[in-house]
Chains A and B, each alone.
Chain A
Amino acid sequence: MNRLTETLEGLGSAVILAVRAFASLPKAPRILKRTAEHGYYGGYTTLPIVAILSFFIGSVLALQAGITMKHFGAKQLIGILVGASMARELGPVMVAILLAGRVGSAVTAELASMKVYQEIDALVTMNIPPERLLVLPRLLAVLLLMPVLTIIANLIGWFGGAIVCAHVDFIGVDPTAYFQSIQRYLAVQDILDGLIKAEVFGFVVMLIACTTGLRTRGGPREIGFAVTKSVVVSLISILVLDYFITKALA
């Protein structure tokens, strides 16, 4: 029962935090500068890993598809298989998971530390709402960042698949044919669906990170617990939401 109450409290706090953050949008000074700073930090720290992982995910997808499709003589469809998988599913999910692990954890640690060391209380006494100063720029930054990272992940993933197709002997699909397959069968809507997912995942990950950080109570030990909780809840939320969004967009 306590667990349920705690979960519902957390959910309620997240909703209130988001509402308060966006309600303060008209009053937020220098919001563009702060949003750009957080966007830069998020992109800077996440992009290299996104690039590496998406390259290998695209490569593995092409490899697996090649192993299976050679039995059916459908190797020409590897392009669309990799293209659609990356655009609709793996691109946004992978970027969101990396965001949770790389940026979300750092945000939770920072806000939890500010809470434990009374910096949040100091802001409240100054009548500077933490939602405006600390949460809103991060939410806006992630909304700007996610589509960019996802498109980059898709492109690199497709490129990884193309290299495997060209250089693995038993696949032997020409990269031109590979990309023509993507061009022919992948609809713009597939890419847009992936970007919608990315936006929702990114927003939820950042909201969970901020809520968990700002709800931290106690001493330094709780900062560690908060980070773990933030990442775990984010990962679960990404996969649960993925199912429902996929169903809704189908």
Chain B
Amino acid sequence: MNASIKAPKPIVRVPRDDLSPVRVEVASLSKSFGPQTVLADISLSVAPGEIFTIMGPSGSGKSVLLRHIAGLETPTRGTVTINGQDPQLPATRDRFALALVFQAGALFNSLTVYENLALYPLERRIHSKADIHQRVMRALHILSIEGAAHKLPAELSGGMKKRVAIARALVMEPQLILFDEPTSELDPIMSATIAEIIATLKEQIAITTIVVSHDRDLALTISDRVAILHQGRLRAVEKPAALRQSPDPVIQDFLNPKIDIRHPRFKQLEASHE
């Protein structure tokens, strides 16, 4: 029996003069919802072409920070800029293609997978219909989901939805791509596939990537730098190797949590609460 090995699918971006990766600057960013402070004085810089991962425990403000970078939230204090421009302004979004891959996909449920992917170029009138078809089919091919082109999102599994969401982002030819928990609710093999796709994007096309994730393996394997958020504050921004060696007990506890049945954490939390 001849084993056939599939050649890696090339990611080819149609050349566009102004399509270079962007720099993201977050300066003294704070966000409060009523009396609750979710982000406190966050400052960080993501270089063009970098894969930057934001990690932290649940409720540490990772997704809120990502929504600020996407221009979906207004800061209480501080600024977020993409190449010096405010991401909330439509003019900034006009100038820099920005794609956000939502945790649950946020696919348009009334549209087929193909229509989901074609919506952006059709609405933005940036290509001919034949060109759009070619781009959509290429993105579906890259993510190995050609067979799902005419299915509705409700007919897809969680992993397929994530891949469609990534394919939709690819069709946009973004200069900045944001991933919100790209591997949550996925099995280990699918998580690895998604991690490979994110890393491949950087290798094959110039793109700035910001990932919010709990997934330690993904963060430490594919990231250029990793930020740790803890209780709304930035605890560290390091390269993966440096982060592994960090003496900070909070970071070590997050990266290498130990399951201690004799002295369980919830008992300690209960005791401290009393």
Contact = CB atoms under 8 A, between A and B. Distances in A.
Contacts of B104: 117-118
Interface string B68-111: 00111000000000000000001001100011101010111110
Contacts of A125: 70-72, 93, 98-100
A117 B77 CA distance: 27
A127 B102 contact: no
A121 B72 contact: yes
Contacts of B123: 29, 126, 128, 133
B120 interface: yes
B43 to A, nearest CB: 23
A128 B120 contact: yes
Size class of the contact patch on chain A: 10 to 19
B119 interface: yes
A122 B93 contact: no
Contact of A119 (B71, B72, B100, B106): B106
B90 A126 contact: no
Nearest to A110: B110
Contacts of A129: 90
Contacts of A127: 90, 93-94, 124
Interface in B101-140: 102, 104, 106-110, 119-120, 122-125
A124 B254 CA distance: 33
A121 B99 CA distance: 11
Interface in A88-126: 110, 113-114, 117-119, 121-122, 124-126
Contacts of B72: 121, 124-125
Contacts of B107: 119, 122
B46 interface: no
19 contacts: A110-B110, A114-B108, A117-B106, A118-B102, A119-B107, A119-B109, A121-B67, A121-B106, A122-B102, A122-B107, A125-B100, A126-B99, A126-B119, A126-B120, A127-B90, A127-B124, A128-B124, A129-B90, A133-B123
Nearest to B99: A125
B212 interface: no
A55 B143 CA distance: 56
A113 B122 CA distance: 23
Interface string A118-153: 110110111111000100000000000000000000
Contacts of B100: 121-122, 125
Contacts of A121: 67, 70, 72, 100, 102, 106
Interface of A: 29-30, 110, 113-114, 117-119, 121-122, 124-129, 133
A30 B121 CA distance: 13
Contacts of A118: 102, 104, 106
Nearest to B103: A118
B147 to A, nearest CB: 23
A63 B229 CA distance: 74
B234 interface: no
B211 interface: no
B99 A128 contact: no
B199 to A, nearest CB: 22
Contacts of B22: none
Contacts of B51: none
Nearest to B98: A125
B94 A122 contact: no
A95 to B, nearest CB: 26
A168 B70 CA distance: 69
Q: Top 10 closest A-B pairs, CB basis?
A: A127-B93, A118-B106, A122-B106, A125-B100, A128-B123, A126-B120, A118-B102, A125-B70, A119-B106, A121-B72
B182 to A, nearest CB: 15
A113 B71 CA distance: 21
B142 interface: no
A121 B110 CA distance: 16
Most buried by B among A30, A118, A125: A125
A127 B122 CA distance: 12
A19 to B, nearest CB: 15
A119 B108 contact: yes
A133 B108 CA distance: 12
B111 to A, nearest CB: 10
Contacts of B119: 126, 128
A121 B98 CA distance: 12
A120 B119 CA distance: 13
Given A118-B106, A127-B90, 19 more contacts: A30-B122, A110-B110, A117-B109, A118-B102, A119-B107, A121-B70, A121-B72, A121-B102, A122-B100, A125-B72, A126-B99, A126-B119, A126-B120, A126-B124, A127-B93, A127-B94, A127-B124, A128-B119, A129-B90
